[in-house]
Amino acid sequence: MSGMSYRELLAQHAEIEKQIQQARNVARKAAIEQINTLMAEFDINPQEIGRKRAPSSLRPVPAKYRDPQSGATWSGRGKPPFWIKDQERTAFLIDRAE
């Protein structure tokens, strides 16, 4: 061990965290300046860079099944919840006319 007390180590940790944040801020500022320079050089607007929509794997999927007792829903993707597991799923289908 280093021979430092717990409190001394916590103080050192806090100081290092502060230095890390300061270094990140400096690097971030430089990165933003570089991005702005490149955007101006190549006539790029922010809309061209921004994510237009989430990848399909991140988009929410509408519920397909509903538990009539609890009102809980399930999209039909992933592990089935306990209320529908090993049961005929058609009885739980959500009527889209609702």
Task: Say how far apart CA 22 and CA 25 lie, in whole Å.
Answer: 5
Overall average pLDDT of the 86-96 stretch:
88
Q: What is the overall mean pLDDT for the chain?
A: 88
- pTM for this prediction: 0.46
CA angle (57 as vertex; 83, 95 as ends), nearest 5: 45
CB contact at 8 A, 73 and 65:
yes
Confidence of residue 50 (pLDDT cuts 50, 70, 90): confident
Task: Say how far apart CA 56 and CA 58 lie, in whole Å.
Answer: 5
Indicate whether 42 pLDDT > 80. yes
pLDDT of res. 46: 86
Residues 6+ apart with CB under 8 A from 92: 65, 66, 67, 68, 74, 83, 84
